[in-house]
Structure 1
């Protein structure tokens, strides 16, 4: 078995870093020393086991070490890694004011989850700002103590003096500024501060001046209304009435224009002002019971509120991939044995990483089925296995919890499969890799080519974009086609590959088939919620939520269908590669759209091979085999058989005979 290669550190340029990554590398290898299957290839940073090691070693002073690998820096420099959560119970025990603790929670929530950009400078500023905020938090016990945050945000030591809102968001800026009395017109921030002061509580002595000011204010208003009534009752002529309207009347409009006599005027003014007096008295009685106009005890109830998701009935069909009950592969090249060396040398992957809890027998099964899946994928697409040279694979090493059984990480160019023996999602995740491959493995936001091109195409519609997104307006089919043809011709670089990719995006999102210049999904029928320029794939995906309607996810799901159809054309199956268990749901391409999307993939892959000089698939054996593996509920193998072509017919007859015998036995048991 191959051994994990040790990474050569750049300690010649950073002598102060000697020992940090060595310690991590040593700890990782120590955990695998007694295992048959080990990590192989260049270590891909960021796995759960590596981050567990780093969690014990990294401090803010270790930024230079992390920055040796940009992807590691992007993944590690996040709020939860650099800005500890506020513990209300601990704050209370330390004597912190309830309102101050409440504001700490709100300020941390407003602190952005990641740096404003994927650059070294942005990450450095982000970490330093988080540390400075946390230092103030550790010392603050009252709301007044938090005012120090303003000087941190604006003193120019961490970021330029005027850039705080731009780099860390308006929400955080408004909260910091309102603490110091600035931005009183910012409603949400001001309301948060009022809530915080309410939670801090107020003594009777401190509340009394607030009550007196409130009472004096309403007394003046009520006194003015009463004066208006009293002076109106002294009117005896129209001249007096005109003078009263000029000097004493407290309101305008209403029915004054229809008043003709002195009696009507006095009656109307008395009625309106009496109503105003009653309203103001009611308002005063309400506000005098509110903070800060009466005594309030400190209140920590906010710390005990647990938000629960509202359970509402939904008409959405439940779509959730389940682990495979069996693994079936037919017609593929014979894979007798496979190990980590096979993945690196034959499939050309840059690395293989195994999670700490992946046992040797699980690793063996994972690797063998994965090798078969990638071989089948590249064979049916007729692309050389060397296309995988920038791709890494991990089994149970990078997952962060949740329901996803597989994930592609653009920052790592890595596919992670969970510990269960796959759920048929290899094609889906490889589709994300393919999408990223076509964008040159960029670490930008967004990183995938499909996302970039959808943004570009939408932007090029300019002010007419509203016709593609608004439910109240739409474009005619002919006008949309002319606009899309113009955008594809003039705003996409002159490259068959990029033109094909943009055309694929137009097909997935709008149902525009660029190869023929037609609208596959345009309709005039009344389909609730579907715009004429929406593809049916996008329409049904949007009904399920933003994850499903994301263009990168539609690309990957469509790629699944394409691979499954390619296998079917050749009479082959590989459900570890693509299970197809959810293909019946319309969030996967259906009918005419699926046919056109498949042709777009044909066009895209042909363009890629030509433009990037990708060679065709080179088979490494002439032998083929069928395979069936039964998996139990724990995810381990019960039994399996690999069938060569020469034994296939004989075993099929044996199975058929066994089935007939079981049927006869069942009938006999039933007759008894």
Structure 2
């Protein structure tokens, strides 16, 4: 490994050996906190955040933005700003069940959070508070229908220039003068004149709050007559009393067993790598330039010594096997902290906190093979933050391939991340689609396609679904040719394929008398992705199949393979990634490993690591 310490002189600062012992760590020789207090002035942030949550004051939000844009982004969300709304409270207020359901539906159409900027968050808060005030006293569905008209005027004023509104008014006035009265045409133009005059009045209000800040789905509900009318029709049909809104309690029973659990070593084995004897946490901090090192109050000196020694060996192995320019790269430019047994949650072996920039490994089970997984989460988040010059308020990860910035981020790095996630998620695999009872038959064109496919494939279900898949794929090529949104066509094809799987199963049963529970369907996803979807029970992106978790587990597999090439075993860093339920395997694993090679070679070449 090349020694390029000079490259880090300006970017990495070696922290002073500052002890920040808590009262309970007073007599510990090893397990005590050093470096910068992890989380910084968290109590100040917490006080401002609590004050804003209680008062919704924009001045307090502005102060919070200065202290921490991340904290500001956590309170400026739909969930937080509308947390006081509930159907039970509406019932107590005397709101009709239909009006209450409409209120709930519209809130769910508001975007979860605004875009990542101080200005966007301020506009979002203003709009949310204004909407709450306007809708507060509505208690019947008839009042809500009038309210839709009122909001439609406000949103139209947001979307249209007043110059265009005045132009519409001139044309309408001219047509109204020529229309005979009384007549249907005269009544129509009179109604339009009133509507556009109301828009003009609304647009003339100084410093008016723009409700468009609440997002496109919110806007669509009020501006699209079809959207609003469909919702009104469904609610009038389905909601007749408060009993229709009662949420049925889930049946009690035994908890579902997890579909996969990590296989853990009894005692972590470390061979042929780097063995360090660390006596104090300051030595670990200095070795990698960690921002701080923290221990839980229940961490004794013996366990603390195990952690800091194994951690030092693990991260030196990681640094060397990836050919990093310097072991300071492990701390990601001095921004990363380590915690041992101090910030645990649930049954997790470890976790990474993107707000505090800290990896926590639990006291006992944290010794067992998850350090690499959590470090990759830290790297993933660090590159995203760096792309925004660390001024972003939203928590983000580069592997999500969205909302990343361009500050100091090489196009080569972006390319390698995109290639990595493409190989991780895309491929040619088979999915077992469960057969569902069909409430209505597919359109006749789709039924004709399914029957033709079944007949030409002599009843072979997999070949039948391949035939249908290939036929639907032609729609994607056509969409690309005509410049349409390919992703929407792909999503529609996927829904159609799953729907036709049930139709083919019924057709198969009628022809052969054999009932099947599932139908094999070809997919455009990798086997690794399909396995993750099974762990998430088909909910794409929920946890196991989210980009950041797919990438972190794939990194574990890559790293273990790299260590094996050098005959290194480090169970503290990574352990047993040969399980196809949770990790890539075979040719997919080889391709993913090659992508990781390219990514880390690029990061090292441009001195990011």
> What band does the TM-score fall into relative to the shorter chain?
0.5 to 0.7
By how many angstroms is 1:124 displaced?
1.1
Q: CA RMSD in A?
A: 4.9
Matched, 1:386 2:402: no
Cα distance in 2 for residues equivalent to 1:364 and 1:73: 38
Say if 2:48 and 2:63, in contact at 8 Å, map to a contact too.
no
Matched, 1:565 2:561: yes
Say if 1:99 and 1:197, in contact at 8 Å, map to a contact too.
yes
By how many angstroms is 1:302 displaced?
1.6
TM-aligned CA distance change 1:123 to 1:578, over 3 Å:
same
Match of 2:18 in 1: 2
TM-aligned CA distance change 1:176 to 1:536, over 3 Å:
closer
By how many angstroms is 1:114 displaced?
1.5
Say if 1:323 and 1:420, in contact at 8 Å, map to a contact too.
no
Say if 2:381 and 2:397, in contact at 8 Å, map to a contact too.
yes
Higher gyration radius (CA):
1
Cα distance in 1 for residues equivalent to 2:74 and 2:341: 18
Match of 2:373 in 1: 428
Matched, 1:349 2:347: no
What 5-or-longer segments of structure 1 have no aligned partner?
5-28, 200-298, 456-492, 513-523, 615-672
Matches within 5 A, 1:96-107: 96-107=95-106
Cα distance in 2 for residues equivalent to 1:187 and 1:366: 62
Matched, 1:130 2:128: yes
Matched, 1:189 2:205: no
TM-aligned CA distance change 1:554 to 1:193, over 3 Å:
closer
Cα distance in 2 for residues equivalent to 1:410 and 1:575: 25
Correspondence for 1:537 among 514, 518, 528? 528
Q: Residue deviations 1:476-506, cap 9 Å, x none?
A: xxxxxxxxxxxxxxxxx99765665555445
Match of 2:605 in 1: 610
Cα distance in 1 for residues equivalent to 2:272 and 2:383: 30
Q: Residue deviations 1:141-168, cap 9 Å, x none?
A: 5556666687578648997789978643
Matched, 1:554 2:570: no
By how many angstroms is 1:197 displaced?
6.9
| TM-score when normalising by structure 2 | 0.56
Cα distance in 1 for residues equivalent to 2:580 and 2:310: 26
Say if 1:337 and 1:368, in contact at 8 Å, map to a contact too.
yes
Say if 1:40 and 1:340, in contact at 8 Å, map to a contact too.
no
TM-aligned CA distance change 1:328 to 1:149, over 3 Å:
farther
SS class of match (1:186): helix
SS class of match (2:271): strand
Cα distance in 1 for residues equivalent to 2:46 and 2:385: 30
SS class of match (2:386): coil
Cα distance in 2 for residues equivalent to 1:385 and 1:570: 18
Match of 2:214 in 1: 168
Q: Residue deviations 1:584-642, cap 9 Å, x none?
A: 2254222344344334433432332222275xxxxxxxxxxxxxxxxxxxxxxxxxxxx
SS class of match (1:577): coil
Match of 1:328 in 2: 269
Correspondence for 2:424 among 493, 498, 508? 508
Cα distance in 2 for residues equivalent to 1:572 and 1:90: 61
Count residues with an aligned counterpart.
429
SS class of match (1:84): coil
Match of 2:61 in 1: 63
By how many angstroms is 1:434 displaced?
3.4
Say if 1:85 and 1:108, in contact at 8 Å, map to a contact too.
no
By how many angstroms is 1:305 displaced?
2.9
Match of 2:401 in 1: 452
TM-aligned CA distance change 1:342 to 1:164, over 3 Å:
farther
Cα distance in 1 for residues equivalent to 2:82 and 2:342: 25
Match of 1:246 in 2: none
Match of 1:119 in 2: 117
Cα distance in 2 for residues equivalent to 1:84 and 1:409: 24
What 5-or-longer segments of structure 2 have no aligned partner?
1-16, 27-31, 162-208, 429-462, 467-518
Say if 1:3 and 1:39, in contact at 8 Å, map to a contact too.
yes
Say if 1:441 and 1:447, in contact at 8 Å, map to a contact too.
no
TM-aligned CA distance change 1:501 to 1:143, over 3 Å:
closer
Match of 1:305 in 2: 248
Cα distance in 1 for residues equivalent to 2:153 and 2:125: 16
Say if 2:97 and 2:240, in contact at 8 Å, map to a contact too.
no
Q: Residue deviations 1:216-269, cap 9 Å, x none?
A: xxxxxxxxxxxxxxxxxxxxxxxxxxxxxxxxxxxxxxxxxxxxxxxxxxxxxx
Cα distance in 1 for residues equivalent to 2:246 and 2:95: 13
Say if 1:448 and 1:552, in contact at 8 Å, map to a contact too.
yes
SS class of match (1:565): helix
By how many angstroms is 1:569 displaced?
3.2
SS class of match (2:231): helix
TM-aligned CA distance change 1:83 to 1:419, over 3 Å:
farther
Q: Which structure is higher in RCO with an 8 Å CA cutoff and minimum separation 6?
A: 2
Q: Residue deviations 1:23-82, cap 9 Å, x none?
A: xxxxxx9xx4544534742643697x8876555433422211221222222233223333
Say if 2:377 and 2:548, in contact at 8 Å, map to a contact too.
yes
Cα distance in 2 for residues equivalent to 1:174 and 1:503: 35
